[in-house]
Amino acid sequence: MDLNQIRDLIADDMKAVDDCICRRLQSPVVLINQLGHYIISSGGKRLRPMLVLLSSGACGYRGTQHIELAAVIEFIHTATLLHDDVVDASEMRRGRETANARFGNEASVLVGDFLYSRSFEMMVEIGNMRIMEILSHTTSTVAEGEVMQLLNCHDADTTEERYMHVIQSKTAKLFDAAGRVGPVLAEQPEAVIQGLAAYGMHLGTAFQLIDDVLDYSGERDEMGKNMGDDLAEGKPTLPLIHAMRVGNEADAALVREAIEKGGRDYAERVLAAIQATDSIEYTRKMAEQEADNAIEALSVLPESPYRDAMASLARFSVGRVY
């Protein structure tokens, strides 16, 4: 399946999720409505809510609570984006102005807080303690990942192990949660719940590693942001860490200086160092291995179009160009 076929499989449920998002975004505070709808309607792949719907379908769930949970996952993700863009002083996301660039940092942070709060209201309404445990732990882990990433900025001594821990906390943990909640709703055995959690963790890790690749190889129009943003912010992502480890002394010193100082002045020379050390290919191969691990984790599920779609989603995560 390609991404359009996956979307066709869950089209009715995704329409219900979109309706739920619009309904639960409503607030008597006009700015919350404006900013919330601005960021939610800005495009995006909606992979995390898709994963909630697919995992629920693959486990035979026949209720409606997966719709609310898919919206919850998207609200949590959107809140992290709002806060991320303020921390990073980002000006572009998905091909248009970030919310903080248009509405200001204060409004973005506060509306992000609103989305977190609304998410927990919705969880309480669902009334499943296991779900609340999963999602509350997830939000704490994501926040820890954000803080760890902040501490790593401009730190050229960041190791590959430390970096992988950051992306598993900051990005992959929400995919993990999206994979878990479907089998929990469907009252599946623990082995299935853990299997789909592992699928989500590997999928999210692969997705972030390809984001790292695209930061140095993607097209601006397709990515919806500027190439080299991570380098400009002094983020030691995997291509940079690998280039420092295996490159010659001059290349390693250049990349180290670029991380420590940030900015775009080093972009062309760093890109040459990354290419000389095959660091893009190294990162891509790691992402492909994570995708393979994700597909292997699906063995806990019976055959179905939903399981096939989840396998295709893993392949999409590493084959994408945006």
Res 191: pLDDT: 98
Per-residue pLDDT of the chain (322 residues; tens, 9 = 90+): 888 999 999 999 999 999 999 999 999 999 998 998 888 887 678 999 999 999 999 999 999 999 999 999 999 999 999 999 898 888 887 678 888 988 999 999 999 999 999 999 999 999 999 999 999 999 999 999 999 999 999 999 999 999 999 999 999 999 999 999 999 999 999 999 999 999 999 999 999 999 999 988 865 544 445 667 888 899 999 999 999 999 999 999 999 999 999 888 888 999 999 999 999 999 999 999 999 999 999 999 999 999 999 999 999 999 987 7
- For residues 73 and 56, the answer to whether their CB atoms sit within 8 Å is no
Q: What is the pLDDT of residues 261-297, one digit of tens each?
A: 988 888 899 999 999 999 999 999 999 999 999 999 9
Length of the chain: 322
* Contact of 113 with 139, CB cutoff 8 Å: no
Q: What's the confidence (pLDDT) of residue 223?
A: 46
Round to whole Å and give the CA distance between 266 and 287: 26
Partners of 96 in beta bridges: 93
Closest to 213 in 3D by CA, of 188, 187, 243, 192: 243
d(CA 233, CA 228): 9
CB atoms < 10 A from the CB of 189, how many?
A: 10
- The separation between the first and the last C-alpha atoms of the chain, rounded to the nearest angstrom, is 18
Q: Which tens digits make up the pLDDT trace of 43-58?
A: 678 999 999 999 999 9
CA distance 120 to 161: 32
Predicted structure pTM score: 0.93
Q: What angle do CA 146, 291, 66 make, to 5 degrees?
A: 70
- Residue 226 has a pLDDT of 62
Q: Are 184 and 135 in contact (CB under 8 A)?
A: no
E strand or H helix at 92, and its extent?
strand 92-93
DSSP H or E segment with residue 117: helix 105-126
Distance CA 218, CA 122 (A): 37
C-alpha dist (Å) from residue 59 to 156, 230, 305 = 44, 38, 11
